[in-house]
Amino acid sequence: MLPFRSGCSACWSCLVWLTSIALFVLIAASHVSGQSKGHKKKTRASATPSASPGEQNLTNIPLPIGHEAKGLVLPDFDGEGHLRGKFEAGTAHRIDEEHVGFQHLKITTYTPESQPDLRIDMRTSVLDLKTRILSSQERTTIQRSDFNIAGDSVQFDTNTRTGRLIGNVKMVITGQSHLTAKPTTNE
C-alpha cells in the first residue's frame, strides 16, 4: 500500500475518514443539484394567449403574492380571442389575491380591426382583478391620433374600455378637421 503524507500506511481509521468525506461530498453534490433544478434563472415575465379564447388574461397574471416582476407584458383578449389591449409594466407586484400594482404602466388598446387606438401612460396604478378596474392616484396621460388628455387621477374599466379622469383635466385636440367640417345637405 502507498503511504500517506504523514507517513502512515492506509489504516482503518484513515480509510473510514476518507470514505466519510467521499460520502459527504456525494450527498452534498446531489442535494445542491436537486436545489438548482427547482430554481430557474430570473427572466422577464410574460403571458401568452390562453388555449381558450374566452379566458380573460388580466385575471390570470402569473405572479405570486408578494413577488415582483420586471418588464411584465400582458395581452388582453376579448371573448372571441381578438386582442383588445396590451399592458406593458416597468415593474408589477402582486399585492394580494385580488390586486396587482404596476409601476410605469403603458397600455395600448386596439380597435376591432386590430389597429392601435389609445395609449395610456400611468406612473403607478393598481388593477382590481375581480372588477378589472385599473386605478391611479397620479397624473395619467391618454393619447389617441386626434387628441391628448391628462388628469390627476384615473379609473379605467378594462372590460368596457371606458375611463374617468378626475382633477386638473387638460385636453388638447389635434385632429380638428372633422369637427369643423360643414355637413352636406341635399337641397
136-174 pLDDT per residue, tens? 999 999 999 999 999 999 999 988 888 899 999 999 998
Domain count, the chain: 1
The answer to whether residue 25 is domain-embedded is no
Q: pLDDT tens digits, residue range 58-84?
A: 767 888 999 999 998 988 887 888 888
Which is more confident, 20 or 74? 74
pTM of the model: 0.63
The answer to whether residue 26 is domain-embedded is no
The answer to whether residue 67 is domain-embedded is yes
What count of other Cβ atoms lies within 10 Å of the Cβ of residue 85? 20
Q: Which domain holds residue 102?
A: 57-177
How far from 21 is each of 9, 14, 18, 35, 77, CA to CA, in Å?
Answer: 18, 11, 5, 21, 58
CATH number, residue 161: 2.60.450.10
The answer to whether residue 10 is domain-embedded is no
